[in-house]
Structure 1
Amino acid sequence: MEFLTLNGYGFVGAVVFGALILFFGLGMGPYFLILMLYFLALSAVVTAIGKRYKKSINQYERFRTIRNVIANGAWPLIMSIAFYFSAGSGSVVLQIAIFVGFVSAVAGVAADKFSSEIGIMDGKPLQLVSFKRVKKGISGGVTALGLGAGLFGAFLISATVFLLKSGLVSNSSLAVVAFACALVGGFLGTIFDSVLGYYESKGIGNKFTSNFFGSAFGSIAAMLIFAAVI
């Protein structure tokens, strides 16, 4: 069984994660789930871009596994669980902050996906920590095109907050703040992911841990920015 960019085990894992996110998301659960499906659809699109070229340099990865699902979905799931328990706090601000954290987490993994899949078609990457030129496909390497694509990926996810006509962010000014925080957090997430990529070559972590902590970093950054602004 295969679905978009997921292999069989990846699909099963995505179903489990999706069900949990839907449950713990309470009233925002449907939005959370749709956002994850939206990310999956966007992933399929950017994976297909430049397919022939990626194959020619041995950088084309058609299907993702359960490990990818865990790396990209674990922090959004944690955020949905946090949202579930925040409902009993009586603090709407806390709930909105966690909502922003969830959106930013997804924006971060989307930014990383766009950055890696589109950036691979740019010139020779620059490693953020060492500032040395590296071969294409090396973890931690970034290009101007990749960074721009990453920002666009984060935008496509973050902009969905404007589609909510009811609930936590139905207020237009609040939606703008939530969007901005999620966008910045998502972009910071992919930058942090690239920084962690440098240490992968040193034997510290791998692309899955980098994805997870990149998502978490961007999410936490977005929540802190939101708390400072509100």
Structure 2
Amino acid sequence: MIFDTLWIDISIIASIIAICILAYKAKALTLLGAVFAFFLTVGLYISGGIPFLATLLGFFISSSFFTKLRAKEKEELEKALYEKGGNRDHIQVLANGGAAFIIAAAYFLMPVKQLLVAYFVAIAACNADSWASEIGIMSRSTPFSIINFKPVQRGISGGVTFLGLFASACGALFIAGIYTIFMFVRIPFLELIRDCTIIVIFGFVGAVIDSALGELFQPAYVDSKGKLTEQRATGRVQNKMVKGFEFFGNDMVNFISSLMAAGLAYCILAFLY
């Protein structure tokens, strides 16, 4: 029995290594990003087993798919606006998986239902934001501010479209679907519906928080041509910061929003259970 369990663990870790290598080869992750992803994924597997692992992989594979979808059309816009491209580095790995890792570690020490669902909410928030960003940017409608609903420049943080909001809800629903697969025969049906509802709602809320934080605190700059960008410099020319805080970049926004969404869900669950 012990030998069988050990063999399963070795097989899963070997699979994680293979996936990280493939992600690096496919330019979904940088080399250091792949290394960090390996250790984070192994940590999540140790904390919560296959359900935690499958949820993270579901997020990574689906978000990577939408990142590559119509990539050529998004490439020029991303080059003009963003510091980083589609291949995620180690900071982005920690930003997207850090909150989930913290919750998973807490669940390992105290395996209660509230933390289990909160973990799925943290991933759902990241997935909702990723789907919204990658699909919403392809919308033909003019983006509007999540704060004051006024039109904003396409691709700038804080701007949303109805397509992006719909994609965000679908991204959270996707993670709720993974939760359903693992919990369908383990808990009563009404409890399952309640948990999935919380995952979808607070996953979506996490993406909305992400947009709001991006609008309020994330830095934006004006380049020498007077165009708004999120790049600190264009070539060797330093751009002028017109809003936000230098240290409050997109990675911090991603981490805080997913942690806030999971925290809110945990508080609701603590009241319900």
TM-score w.r.t. the length of structure 1 is 0.88
Q: Distance in 2 between matches of 1:58 and 1:224?
A: 37
Equivalent positions of 1:1-230 (< 5 A) are 2=24, 4=26, 5-25=28-48, 29-58=49-78, 61-87=85-111, 95-122=112-139, 123-164=141-182, 169-198=186-215, 199-201=217-219, 202-204=243-245, 205-230=248-273
Q: Distance in 2 between matches of 1:166 and 1:82?
A: 24
1:203–1:56: structure 2 CA closer, same or farther, 3 Å change rule? Answer: closer
Separation in 1 of the partners of 2:68 and 2:126?
Answer: 17
Unaligned runs of 5+ in 1: 88-94
Q: Which amino acid aligns with 2:110?
A: S
Cα separation, partners in 2 of 1:165 and 1:226, compared to 1, 3 Å: closer
Consecutive unaligned residues in structure 2, runs of 5 or more: 1-20, 220-242
Count of aligned residue pairs for this structure pair: 219
Q: What is the alpha-carbon distance in structure 2 between the residues aligned to residue 165 and residue 140 of structure 1?
A: 35
Q: Which residue in the other structure is 1:92 paired with?
A: none
Q: Percent identity?
A: 30
In 2: Cα distance, 1:3 partner to 1:175 partner: 38
Q: CA RMSD in A?
A: 1.9
Q: Which amino acid aligns with 1:207?
A: N
CA offsets 1:2-56 (integer angstroms, 9 cap, x no match): 155212111110001011111222xxx2210111111110011111222232124
Alpha-carbon distance between aligned partners in 1 of 2:66 and 2:179, rounded to the nearest angstrom? 22
The structure number with the bigger radius of gyration is 2
Q: How big is the shift at 1:220?
A: 1.4
Q: Which consecutive segments of 4 or more residues in structure 1 shift more than 4 A?
A: none
Give the whole-Å Cα distance in 1 for the aligned partners of 2:172 and 2:183. Answer: 21
Amino acid at match of 1:39: F
Cα gap change, 1:52 to 1:166, in 2 (>3 Å): closer
Structure 1 residues 203 and 23 mapped into 2: Cα distance closer, same or farther (>3 Å)?
A: same
Per residue, is there more strand in 1 or in 2?
2
Q: CA deviation at 1:86?
A: 1.0
SS in 1 for 2:102: helix
Q: CA deviation at 1:165?
A: 5.0
Post-superposition shift, 1:108?
0.3
Contact 1:192 1:214 in 2 (8 A): yes
State the 1:130 CA deviation: 3.8
TM-score by length of 2: 0.75
Whether the 8 Å contact between 1:188 and 1:217 is mirrored in structure 2 is no
State the Cα distance separating 1:221 from its structure 2 match: 1.8
- Residue 114 (structure 1) shift: 0.4
Q: C-alpha distance in 1, partners of 2:78/2:44?
A: 35
Looking at structure 2, the residues matched to 68 and 120 of structure 1 have their Cα atoms a distance apart, in angstroms, of: 19
Q: Secondary structure at the match of 2:212?
A: helix
Q: Match of 2:244, SS?
A: coil
